[in-house]
Structure 1
Amino acid sequence: MLVGLAVILGACVSPIEQKAPEIERPSSEQPSKARGRPGAKLHVELGTAYLQAARMGVALDEANAAIGFDPTYAPAFLLKGLVYAEIEQFEAAKPAFEEAARLAPGDPEVNNAYGWFLCSQGQEDAGLQRLEQAARNPYFSSPGKAWANAGLCLLRKKDDVAAEDRFLRAVAQDDRDAVSMYFLADINLRLDRGLRAKQWVDTLMNKRPEQGVDLIWLALRIERKLGNDDAARKYAEKLRADFPGSIEYQNFLQGKFE
């Protein structure tokens, strides 16, 4: 956790005065006697499906309907924030996330989503605090997602060492986490640890037969760094064959590898 401790004129904070982060089960899993809760949950479930299908207008309607049924249901405001963030209406997203966090300060799903939103808006320290709170919550079913988001947030702060630690935690939770493995390879390449970078990129390629331009370009640069000319040439040919118009292939032709 990123915790600041101020000591002024020799004063100290007693253990009783220190407030530990709240730990809650996800609000969607908690029982409630609120009359409108069943309707709110149904609308959030529908809205989440519409969000995943990129039907943003309908997803927003479902979020608002859920709030109408139960204005104390944090996932309804979380859904609203996610929709607004997805369509880049960040000023509208922020109060929705804030209300979700006010209603359920220890909800790991809220802290994960709101934490990443804060990171994406340049508030990395505040975002990291929420992400790590979510990752350490024993009730969170997807702690790897929060660790991966924390890694991405730390990359925004250009802290490769701390980011590597969070990505390693993410992969420990989910060994299929392609995003974390990609950035572990990328970080190790930047830190001149070519063999370790190659191990990560090879692992990722074995787990994901479909290989995008980013992954091929990274693998090419790693093999080139290691002096494996034949392997680098193979990836260059794959770039030419599959992504001839890509920026990565143009960089290869121009000798821009950094």
Structure 2
Amino acid sequence: MKKRLALALSGLLLVAACATPAERAERRGAAQLNTQLGVNYARQGQYDLALEKLLKAADQDSEYAPAHSALAVIYQTRGDREAAEREFRKALALDGSDPTVKNNFGVFLCERGKPDEARRYFMDVAKDPRFAAPEQAWTNAGICIKKTDPEQAERDFREALRLKPDDRDALAQMAILSFARQDFLRTRAFLQRYDLKSRATPELLSIAARTEMALGDRDAARDYARRIVQEFPESKEAATFADWQP
């Protein structure tokens, strides 16, 4: 049985090695089509169909890096970390120049508790002129290390804001850092720039309420507390602020 299996695999490899340029081009085209279909399904939240198409694409052309990078994201979304890391590394081995894949892999590594390796990828991305949003890479780098090195994290967030002064992710992170240091005036300033009226989260509204309380504006504190309860009734912050009386 083992000999038959080995012979069968050898035969498959021989066929692959002897493929003509036209056949390889046909496989690449099919892989590209199925990768795009898989990505489209993923965007619609249809992850089973996305996985099916992406696995087919990788089977059609195992050296098509975008199929592997898309597979990595799907596996990451489904919580299969080992498979995700395998596919990320496969994609980068095939095409180590794609800044989007590097950024996504950096996020993955950060979530897995590997901040040093993640930061190396983020710094590569931040310096790559092909990456349209370098401020995102700087913000990701700061988020990854803010618990262990808040000073460096602040420098990263400030670099993101230098590149894009209204970047909300970096503004939110600076507000969180300032609040942790009890620098309430800076916290208020960053939250004002973030603009909580048009986009808010329970965490930031909670920080805003406590900041205004610390600065003596009880009316503003109550308004933020009320918004938490009304806009995010299922959040843990809503339970905290339900009966809050500043």
Q: Normalising by structure 2, report the TM-score.
A: 0.79
2:68 is paired with a residue whose SS is helix
Q: Deviations over 1:127-183 (max 9, x none)?
A: 11111111111121232222222122112x432222222223334444554322211
Distance in 1 (CA, whole Å) between partners of 2:182 and 2:201 is 23
Q: Is the Cα contact below 8 Å between 1:43 and 1:66 reproduced in 2?
A: yes
1:113 CA displacement: 0.9
CA distance in 2, matches of 1:69, 1:174: 41
Q: Does 1:211 align with 2:177?
A: no
**Residue in 1 that maps onto 2:227:** 238
Q: Does 1:199 align with 2:178?
A: no
Q: In the alignment, which of 154, 171, 178 is matched to residue 181 of structure 1?
A: 171
CA positional deviation for 1:97: 0.9
Q: CA deviation at 1:254?
A: 8.0
Instruction: Please give the alpha-carbon distance, in whole angstroms, between the structure 1 residues aligned to 2:120 and 2:70.
Output: 21
Please list, as runs of the form range in 1=range in 2, the aligned pairs for 1:102-181 lying within 5 A after superposition. Answer: 102-155=93-146, 157-175=147-165, 177-181=167-171
Q: Deviations over 1:94-131 (max 9, x none)?
A: 11111112112232112111111111111111111111
Q: For 1:87 and 1:163, locate their aligned partners in 2 and report how far apart those are by CA, in whole Å.
A: 29
Q: Distance in 2 between matches of 1:173 and 1:138?
A: 13
Please report how far the alpha carbon of residue 246 of structure 1 lies from its aligned counterpart in structure 2 after TM superposition: 3.6
Q: Which moved more, 1:70-79 or 1:43-52?
A: 43-52
Aligned to 2:7: none
CA 1:169–1:42: 2 relative to 1, 3 Å: farther
Residues 65-119 of structure 1 show CA distances to partners (whole Å, capped at 9, x for unaligned) of 2223322221111111100000101111111111112112232112111111111
Moved over 6 A (4+): none
Q: Which amino acid aligns with 1:89?
A: D
Which of 168, 180, 183 is the equivalent residue of 1:190? 180
User: Taking structure 1 as reference, are residues 70 and 137 closer, same or farther at Cα in structure 2, changes over 3 Å only?
Assistant: same
- Distance in 2 (alpha carbons) for counterparts of 1:245 and 1:118: 30
- Please report the TM-score for the alignment, with normalisation by the length of structure 1: 0.76
Instruction: Measure how far apart 1:249 and its partner are.
Output: 3.4
Per the alignment, do residues 201 and 139 of structure 1 end up closer, same or farther by CA in structure 2, a change over 3 Å counting? same
Give the root-mean-square deviation of aligned CA atoms. Answer: 2.5
Structure 1 CA distance for aligned equivalents of residues 241 and 149 of structure 2:
27
Whether contact under 8 Å (2:35, 2:70) holds in the other structure is: yes
Q: Is the 8 A contact 2:228 2:241 kept in 1?
A: no
Corresponding residue for 2:40?
Answer: 49
Aligned partner of residue 195 in structure 2, secondary structure:
helix
The alpha carbon displacement at 1:245 in A equals: 5.2
Report whether the alignment pairs 1:87 with 2:78.
yes
More contact order relative to length (CA 8 Å, sep ≥ 6): 1
| Conserved 8 A contact 2:166-2:193 | no
1:144/1:51 CA distance change after superposition, 3 Å: farther
Measured after TM superposition, the shift of residue 57 of structure 1 is 1.1
Distance 1:106 1:145 in 2: 18
Deviation at 1:184, TM superposition (A): 1.2
**Partners of 1:104 and 1:110 within 8 A in 2:** no
Letter in 2 for 1:48: V
Matched, 1:229 2:214: no
Aligned length: 222
Paired-residue identity, % = 31
Q: Which protein is richer in helix relative to its size? A: 2
Larger radius of gyration: 2
8 Å CA contact 2:51–2:71 kept in 1: the answer is: yes
Gaps of 5+ in 1: 1-32
Q: 1:27 maps to which residue?
A: none
**Aligned with 1:248: secondary structure?**
helix
